[in-house]
Structure 1
Amino acid sequence: MFTNEYTDIVIEHFMCPKNVGILNDSNGEGKAGDPACGDSLNIYIKVKDDLIEDISFLVYGCPASVATSSMTTELAKKKTLKEALSISENDIIDALGGLPENKKHCSNLGVKALRSAIENYLVSAVENK
């Protein structure tokens, strides 16, 4: 049963995800996917003065993918790039109060897409100087 597998925090982030959508004025975009299960995540960031001012995401996947994507954006919002780069899969899982063992891989999507978005921002910033 769905409610027995997931914590209340996971259910909340699945049912009412935070920061959903395309961030039209983003200056960094990252993507990640898991071919084994078909999940796909795009993260958009708006960085100003080394701070992630705003962040959003679009995800295709299971409830755990939606929840981990939502939590990733919540953990990264208003963080410096260095702080955001240090966010780990375990940080996301812990913030959600845990995930079933067979769904822990979903937290990898958030970390990979966030790091990809930061890398995209940094490359663009160097190219635009």
Structure 2
Amino acid sequence: MNIEEYSDVVIDHFMCPRNMGVINNPNGVGTKGDPGCGDSLNIYIKVENNIIEDISFLVFGCPASVATSSITTEIVKKKTLEEALEITEEFIIDSLGGLPEHKKHCSNLGVSALRNAIEDYYKRKI
């Protein structure tokens, strides 16, 4: 890890990730992996009245993957499902103060896993 490549926000979320772990009895689970670099992410959500009341993650990956996963969970916690679905990879990157070009693909993990968790929530609800 070349620390000069990362913003203070990225370093903070890597060193002190928020919402890491597994929620008991989640009602939505989303997974996303990047076979090219080996990163893998699981996001767990607890939805009540259309609001993401709780969210957590487990990630296997580089500092950028940890940071993007952490900030994604922070951003969407207490948002409606519709608001969460509007979050983009670019918004995650901007929220982190940027990422090196060769690490921007890491932002896809969080957004994709989140969308997969929301999709899983809707499937379970039927």
Q: Pick the TM interval, shorter chain.
A: over 0.9
- Aligned residue type for 1:2: N
Q: How many residues align?
A: 126
Which residue of 2 is the match for residue 33 of structure 1?
Answer: 33
Backbone CA RMSD of aligned residues: 0.7
- Aligned residue type for 1:15: M
Residue 2 of structure 1: CA displacement?
2.3
- Range that drifts further, 93-102 or 1-10: 1-10
* Runs of 5+ consecutive residues of structure 2 not aligned to the other structure: none
* Alignment partners' CA distance in 1, 2:13 and 2:112: 19
* Alignment partners' CA distance in 1, 2:101 and 2:53: 33
Which residue of 1 is the match for residue 109 of structure 2?
Answer: 109
Indicate the SS of the match to 1:98: coil
2:95 is aligned with 1:95: yes
* Runs of 5+ consecutive residues of structure 1 not aligned to the other structure: none
Aligned identity (percent) is: 69
- Aligned residue type for 1:7: S
Which residue of 1 is the match for residue 72 of structure 2?
Answer: 72
Which residue of 2 is the match for residue 19 of structure 1?
Answer: 19
Indicate the SS of the match to 2:82: helix
Cα-to-partner distance string for 1:70-111 (whole Å, 9 max, x where unaligned): 011011100000000000001100100000000000000001
TM-score using structure 1 length: 0.96
Structure 1 residue ranges (4+ consecutive) displaced by more than 3 angstroms after TM superposition: none
Indicate the SS of the match to 2:113: helix
